[in-house]
Amino acid sequence: MAEKIGIMGGTFDPIHYGHLLAAEECRRQLALDRIVFVPTGTPPHKRNRAVTSPEDRYAMTLLATAGVREFFVSRTEIDRDRPSHTVDTLEEFLKQSAPQPELFFITGLDALLSIATWKDYMQLPSLCTLVTATRPGYSVAGVDALPIDIRRVLKLIEIPQFAISSTEIRSRAREGRSIRFLVPHLVESYIENCGLYRDSEVPRI
């Protein structure tokens, strides 16, 4: 049987318990063999907001997932010397693995609703099942407007505990408020020791 791999795509700025719970819930519900977290490199669509450096986001993702047997972290997008596009990432995963695995691309609903602006998005249904992990109370109305071929391969999974957001964590850190128990302890220490999110949204070099 083909290996079933969840590709957890996101900026992870920073990674938090909501992401980890979402990954675990998808793994369980879809019977995935493993989950690979793929922090974005240079997000093509985020030129209007400075994002923390890829190496810091990668390091935090490693710290958050260390010791979880089924969780892995990939540098695929971090190491790419051009903007990171999901279609390229999925093709790379398929090329690298023999026999061919079955891929499940997992991301947030906000991100997925803009899928019609992504590079070669109509190729995605032939490469993977699309999975969105949604927060409780989130409107899923926009899903009906997605192209039919996308809807056909789309699975919505509501994560009851996914009430945390990276935006909230960044603003708490900036205001000197506690982020304890919102992110794994090692991620909290990394953010404190490196002074991330303290003054502004300007990334470290």
Sites of contact with ligand NAP (CB under 6 A): 8-11, 18-19, 22, 40, 43-45, 84-86, 106-108, 110-111, 118-119, 133, 165-167
The nearer residue to ligand NAP, 40 or 129, going by C-beta atoms, is: 40
Measure Cα distances from 18 to 11, 50, 108 in Å: 14, 22, 11
CB pairs under 8 A, 24+ apart, for 26-29? 26/104, 26/106, 26/131, 26/133, 26/157, 27/70, 29/157
Tokens 């960044």 label which residue? 170
Task: Name residues whose C-beta falls within 8 Å of residue 94's C-beta, 6 or more positions apart in sequence.
Answer: 100, 101, 103, 127
Q: For 43-152, where are the alpha helices, taking DSSP H only?
A: 54-65, 86-96, 109-113, 124-127, 148-152
| Distance in Å, CB of 18 to ligand NAP, minimum | 6
Between 99 and 126, CB nearer to ligand NAP: 126
Please say which residue, 47 or 152, places its beta carbon nearer to ligand NAP: 47
Residue nearest to ligand NAP (CB): 108
Residue (98 or 202) nearer to ligand NAP, CB: 202
The CB-of-13 to ligand NAP minimum distance in angstroms stands at 7
Least distance in angstroms from the C-beta of 85 to ligand NAP = 4
The residue (of 11 and 52) whose beta carbon lies closer to ligand NAP is: 11
SS3 state of residue 9:
strand
H or E element that contains 23: helix 17-29
Give min distance, CB of 144 to ligand NAP, in A.
19
Helix (H, G, I), strand (E, B) or coil at 124: helix
Nearest distance from C-beta of residue 4 to ligand NAP, angstroms = 16
